[in-house]
């Protein structure tokens, strides 16, 4: 199967993954800088006690270090975080795609094999999860989710999913009679349970509907959406805005030090579900919400 076309695609994948490990999308950087500016203004307030000011200063220091870290990573082309993540791939395949599923998996593997040594990726994947936990030394295997699209060849989209935040994933099976207000309370509760562990400020993906396991996939897919881009459905756009406001009120703050801003963005994806259930999952990403895209 190896020919110039597949080798070029492997190289594209490798280049995008290396770029994603050291550079965030511009809208996410903008959100980080906007949050930093907000904390700079907060610490200047005259009507706050010393304890609150010190709390806000600690949160501001976290954001300042993140900004400096991003500058170094971008200039030196090195990973922005020591946890370079597990590769989660979303393969959206159209009718004009020139590759079979098997060929695409081989191409993705080839791209990862080029990216890992070329981008100084930490070896973070173990072969057996429970007993021996022997490091594969390759960052393989990866996770892949397939979906068809109606037109074109499709695309491969990647999350470089760090496990400080992945360990804070959560799922619930809610009552089908759950109101939007109660739904927001439940999602916010999941974020509160995560607290400072996922290295806030955070990006929150929410998956609602389908089945228990698919709601988790939907939550991950929500993280693919660019920061600042709302859901196209007006009701779900409103839900995203309300969820973001609710999470900001948790006072978790950057680094878990406290403050009125915790989340950089909230995105929701949904599917139809059974009349007897309401599955919901939350996928949290730290500020290093790294993703890549390759068109087929």
Mean pLDDT of 33-56: 96
Judge whether 93 lies within some domain. yes
Record the pTM.
0.96
Considering the chain, what is the average pLDDT of its residues? 97
Total domains in the fold of the chain? 1
- Please say if the pLDDT value at position 2 is more than 70: no
Judge whether 128 lies within some domain. yes
- Please say if the pLDDT value at position 249 is more than 70: yes
Judge whether 269 lies within some domain. no
Judge whether 37 lies within some domain. no
> Whole-angstrom Cα distance, residue 128 to residue 130?
6
Judge whether 146 lies within some domain. yes
Out of 1-5, 15-19, 57-61, 143-147, pick the least confident: 1-5
pLDDT tens-digit series, residues 109-126: 999 999 999 999 999 999
Banded pLDDT at 1 (limits 50, 70, 90): low
User: Which structural domain range is residue 98 located in?
Assistant: 4-21+80-161
pLDDT tens-digit series, residues 254-268: 999 999 999 999 999
> Whole-angstrom Cα distance, residue 106 to residue 108?
6
What is the per-residue pLDDT for 5? 86
Mean pLDDT of 235-251: 98
Judge whether 39 lies within some domain. no
Judge whether 221 lies within some domain. no
pLDDT tens-digit series, residues 165-206: 999 999 999 999 999 999 999 999 999 999 999 999 999 999
Banded pLDDT at 3 (limits 50, 70, 90): confident
Judge whether 95 lies within some domain. yes
- Please say if the pLDDT value at position 151 is more than 80: yes
């Amino acid at each position: 199967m190896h020919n110039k076309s597949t080798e070029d695609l492997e190289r594209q994948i490798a280049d995008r993954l290396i770029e994603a490990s050291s550079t965030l999308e511009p809208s996410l950087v903008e959100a980080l800088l906007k949050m930093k500016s907000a904390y700079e203004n907060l610490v200047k307030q005259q009507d706050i006690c010393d304890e609150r000011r010190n709390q806000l200063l600690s949160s501001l220091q976290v954001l300042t270090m993140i900004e400096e870290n991003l500058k170094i990573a971008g200039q030196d082309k090195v990973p922005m975080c020591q946890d370079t993540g597990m590769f989660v791939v979303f393969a959206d395949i159209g009718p004009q795609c020139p590759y079979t599923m098997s060929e695409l998996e081989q191409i993705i593997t080839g791209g990862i094999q080029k990216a890992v040594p070329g981008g100084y990726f930490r070896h973070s994947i173990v072969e057996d999860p429970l007993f021996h936990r022997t490091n594969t030394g390759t960052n393989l295997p990866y996770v892949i989710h397939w979906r068809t699209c109606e037109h074109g060849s499709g695309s491969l989209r990647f999350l470089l999913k760090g496990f400080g935040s992945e360990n804070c994933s959560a799922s619930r099976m809610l009552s089908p009679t759950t109101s939007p207000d109660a739904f927001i309370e439940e999602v916010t509760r999941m974020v509160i349970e995560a607290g400072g562990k996922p290295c806030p400020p955070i990006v929150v993906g929410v998956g609602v509907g389908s089945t228990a396991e698919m709601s988790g996939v939907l939550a991950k897919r929500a993280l693919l959406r660019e920061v600042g881009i709302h859901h196209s459905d007006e009701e779900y756009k409103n839900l995203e805005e309300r969820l973001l406001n609710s999470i900001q009120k948790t006072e978790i703050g950057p680094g878990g030090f406290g403050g009125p801003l915790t989340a950089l963005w909230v995105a929701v994806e949904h599917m139809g579900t059974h009349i007897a259930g309401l599955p919901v999952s939350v996928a949290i990403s730290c500020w290093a919400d790294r993703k890549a895209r390759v068109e087929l």
